[in-house]
Structures are given as structure tokens and as C-alpha cells.
Amino acid sequence: MQIKTIKTHPYTDQKPGTSGLRKKVKVVLQPHYLENFVQSVFDALGDTSGITLVLGGDGRYYNRKAAQIIIKMAAANGVGRLLVGQGALLSTPAASCLIRKYGAQGGFILSASHNPGGPDEDFGIKFNAANGGPAPESLTNAIFARTLEINQFHIAEAADVNLDAPGDYPLGTMTVQVLDSVTDYAELMEQIFDFGLIESSLKSGRLSICFDAMHAITGPYAQRILVERLGASPDSVMNAVPREDFGGGHPDPNLVHAHELAERMYAPGAPALGAASDGDGDRNMIMGDHFFVTPSDSLAVLAANLHLLPAYRAGLKGVARSMPTSQAADRVAKALGIGCYETPTGWKFFGNLLDDGKITLCGEESFGTGSDHVREKDGLWAVLAWLNLLAVRKQSVADIVREHWAQYGRDYYSRHDYEGMPLAIGDGIMAHLREQLSGLVGKGFVGSQVSVADDFSYTDPVDGSVSPNQGIRIIFENGSRIVFRLSGTGTEGATLRIYLERYEPDATQHGHDPQEALKDLIELAEQLGEVRNRSGMAAPTVIT
């Protein structure tokens, strides 16, 4: 095997975001664009001689080609062992599972998560660290710094590796081990949940499920676990075959993009549980018969009930949520007498809390939930947790959630997304809001006074690192909140997200439509942010 050193020049736009580097395919296809980023990762890692890494992706366009490039670059950079998912496929939580199970020093995950795929759409790549979670800022900053000065990369001159057949393939001094993409993850799920109880409930007809894989990575996982292992009916998994363009759909599990599932769950004879996952398998949507569970409520309900499931019977060490996520989980943590942590958006912020044993469960309002079994959010884990919970409690999804509200109160909650907004306009809206913060505390709006108005800053309780400017919070004395945040998960323009929350302890008032219950906060958010006026957008593009 010959190792070639190729001269290159830097690109200035390779700064990893909260979930790695995401770009349009046409950007990634520029000469040496991918190679520059990958070599920068190897350079930032330091001595990579003999280390073990993991590689896989969500199957979107360019996934297989990119995998072959990374394999040859890994060999050229001295990697000793590369664990690759069959077909270059791995869900993000499965990649985290492999890193942790086999003691790898990290791994490359090829995904743009819930973003669309195809030749004209998005591609993404990120590096996960040895704990299985997203690389910390210290590493991503080092990677970015290297991308700005890189002038060469190393790659092996060799034939492509056969990624479709499990086995060991030598490539110079490196061994490429192609693994079945599902087996290790499925084994972990069986250790966590009561598969026997779920299986008997499904086969007896006491329980039923419809899972929408959205032509993304979780199709093979759901087919293997739900249908083949647990005995769900063959039609329980929709859109099960991964496709490079996700079947022309947008693999984001919400009521807008998973409309086929939503229609089935609001039709007569709906299954007991409806669920969906996203492009790389780390997000989830939970529904019941004619009932939608917000991600914030899902986190809170799981926090209150996880002790009923095998792996969590000792109870929870603590709970964490991202700042924009509703405060519903906080109320459960207080009742249980356990710690509750509010972090910035981005799963990497949960990693320190998990590694330090401060929390067992964590989640984000953006349809992400996970536990200490891996260091990524895990869509199928959340679905199995709900399935197991339904089998134990023998109640409907709606009854479980309404019972939860009766005990803890209901947090009416909604997120309004303004997608594709020019970044300059988004920045202008945020600047306009910041100018008002100092004068808002003590003012009365929507029947309550403002108690906090700030730009959220987080101090990590484990390592003391500080993350400022994480979103504008306007918090009222009665517990209501408005949060404004610019999201960095897209590849074009910006997405302004407005989060709205009102706490209602009175069970007789829990039956309202969230948009109606939040109407006064929605109007106040427009008054303060002038979003429609400044952007020219008449309404949010997505409401969840």
C-alpha cells in the first residue's frame, strides 16, 4: 500500500457547529474539501498510531464515497483498527454504542441529522470522542484552527474496501472490521428493557405500534428489533428502507414532516403507540391514539416512570434538559429529590454530567431524549422506553400523560420556527432583543411581572467551563417563559426559534389547545422581537 501526501489549500468555512460540520453536497464536493476536514481531525487528535476508531453514517447521498475516503485516510494516518458499519451505515446512537463497547478512541459519523438528503441537499460529518459523545469544544476549536492552516493531507492509494460483507479487511497496517450495523445496539437495548414483557404484549394484541423510519437509518434497526425480535406486525414499520434522499422527504420527526404517521395516529383504529425517528436515528416523536406528546412532556413522563423499567430500577441520579426545553422535568426532579440541570442546546453539554454520574436521563425539546447507556440522544431507545412503559402500566399514552399533568401540572409549550431567514436579519432581531433586556425586569405583561431577562450563560458544574450567549430568556414570576434562539443546524440562512411556555397547575384547565393557551405569549413575543415585521415572514414555517 502506497501512502500519498497531497498538497491542498485551506477553506475558511469549516468551523464545526453543535453537531459537527454541515454543508450542501455541492460544497463538500469541492476539491479536497472533505479531505481537509478529515485530516484536520487527525492532526488535532495528535498521535493516531495504532488507535481504534469507528465509522458510519445515515446513508444519505455521498455517504459511501465519503466513507471510502476516510478509510484510506485513516490507514495513511496510522490508525490500527477501524470499525465500520455494514454498508457504511450506523445510526448516531449505535456509533456511540460501538465506541464505548469496543474502547475506541472516537469515531466519524457521517450525517446531517434531520436535514434533507440528495445531490442538491445536505451532507454532514462530525467526530465523536472516546466517551461516545460529540467532541468537546476544545477539540472542535482545535480542528477548526487546523482547517485554517492545512496545506497537505495523507491518503492511501488502494482499492475500495468491500463494506457490504461483515469481516476483517487488511489495509496496510490497519484492519478494517466491517460489523453488522444493528447487532451490538440491539443487544444493548435488550439489556435495558423488558423485551419479554413487550413481546408478549405485542403478540397478544394488548399493545400495538406504528414506527415511521422516514426512509432513514433507523429502518433496519426498527425492523430487526420491533418486528423480528419483539414480534410486532410486519406493517408496524413504515418507510423502512434507507434511501440516499430519504425518499424525497424531510427526515425530521415532527407533525409537519412525519405527516403520514400523524394521519394514521389521528384516524380510527390507530395503534397504541406511534413513533418516528430522524435521518441519523437520534431524535424521536411520540404519539398515542389521537394524542401528541411534546418532547418536553416525554422527558418529564420518562423521568417520573423510568424506575419501572429494568435498567433503571435503582432510580435516577439526576435529570438534565436544554434551556429551551420546558420546565416540566424540573418539577419531577424536585418531587424525586434528585438534581436537575439546565444546559445550553447541544448534546455535548450533557456528556460531562453523564460521565460524572450526576444524571441518568437528559433531553431536548428538539425531539431528543437519552440516558446514560450511550452519550448521544437515542430515538429508538425513547420509543422502546415508551413501549415498555405502556406494557407495564397497561394504560394509553393519553391517560399516562394526563395523569402526569394532574400530579405535576401542565406546561403548555410550543416552538415557533422561522426557517431560512437571512442571517443578518436573525442577528438583528437578537440584537434588538438584547437592547431591551435591562429594562424588562419588573415590568408587567400577560398578567405577571418579568423576573428574569437575560442572555443565558452556562457554567459547567464538572469542569467549570463557561458558555455565554446561549439564548435570550424572558421569565415571568408565574413560571411562564419566552425564549429566543438562533439555531445552527441548517445549511442555508438561519432559523430563529421562539419557545413559549405557560405553567398551569389546575387540572380543570389542562384541556386547551396549546396555541390558544399561549396566545398572549405569542403576541408578546412578536411585540418584543418584531420578527414578522423585520423578516417579512407572515408566520412561522414550522410550529411544534
User: CA 364, CA 283: separation in Å to the nearest integer?
Assistant: 9
Task: Annotate 243-259 with b (16+ C-beta within 10 A) or e (fewer).
Answer: bbbbeebbbbbbbebbe
Q: How big is the CA angle at 129 (ends 126 and 133), to the nearest 5 degrees?
A: 80
Contacts of 101 (CB under 8 A, 6+ apart): 184, 188
Secondary structure (DSSP) of 416-443: EEEEEE-HHHHHHHHHHHHHHGGGTTT-
Distances in Å between the alpha carbon of 139 and those of 16, 53, 106? 10, 16, 12
Q: How far does Cα 544 stand from its chain's mean position?
A: 16
Cross-strand partners of 543 = 416
Nearest to 94 by CA among 260, 221, 256: 221
CA atoms within 13 A on the CB side of 40: 31
Listed in sequence order, the DSSP H helices in 230-347 are 259-265, 295-305, 328-336
The H or E element that residue 174 is part of is strand 174-179
Cross-strand partners of 154 = 5
226: DSSP letter: I
Residues serving a catalytic function are 113
